Homo-oligomer: A and B are copies of this chain.
Amino acid sequence: MDIAKRLAELGLQLPPIPKPQGSYVPAVRSGNLVFVAGQLPMREGQLTCKGKVGRDVDVEQARAAARICFLNAIAALASAGVDPGQVTRVVRLGGFVQCVDGFSEQPKVINGASDLCRDIYGDIGAHARAAVGVNALPLDAAVEIEAVFEVALAANVTAAPGSSV
């Protein structure tokens, strides 16, 4: 799968590998799973969406932020030596929405990431997800999204017939 081409069709471009906010790395591969660190809605080094959803930020703005988080998540794969085109399944997204008490539309917000994931990856983009609200996020970001991706094992590993690997 040529992700750069697919992104171009969607009017998008793969950003550079996101810079971690602390003493960690953007992504780690173990076997055929890649764990991607929590991504903020950063674009060109700037936080694009700040504040609490339901007070400073509305659902549409937060959805757009979630979309940017997901783009950063696939950009993060490169830090584990994985090309986003090697993804064989998007396994799980974890979405945190910085919001006011009583805000209950976290699913709509995180759909910004999930819908883009399906637009990019099609059927293999169908993922499990947890979306929750929190009272505070790093840098006062409105949204943070982490991910688990499946990639094929190295070509010289022969999967047994019938295995889901």
B-binding residues in A (CB < 8 A): 20-33, 35-38, 52, 89-94, 96-108, 110-111, 114-115, 117-118, 126-141, 144, 146, 148, 150, 153-158, 160-165
Contacts and interface: CB of A to CB of B under 8 A. Distances in A.
Nearest to A153: B163
A29 to B, nearest CB: 6
Given A28-B92, A156-B160, 17 more contacts: A22-B111, A22-B129, A24-B93, A28-B89, A28-B127, A30-B32, A35-B91, A101-B136, A104-B141, A106-B136, A107-B138, A134-B134, A134-B135, A154-B160, A156-B161, A156-B163, A157-B162
Nearest to A103: B136
A31 B118 CA distance: 21
A37 B129 contact: yes
Nearest to A90: B28
The interface residues of chain A, by DSSP majority, are classed as: mixed
30 contacts: A22-B111, A22-B114, A23-B115, A23-B118, A24-B126, A24-B127, A25-B127, A28-B91, A28-B127, A28-B128, A29-B164, A30-B33, A31-B31, A31-B163, A31-B164, A35-B91, A35-B148, A36-B128, A37-B129, A38-B132, A98-B133, A104-B136, A104-B138, A104-B140, A104-B141, A132-B134, A132-B137, A134-B134, A153-B163, A154-B160
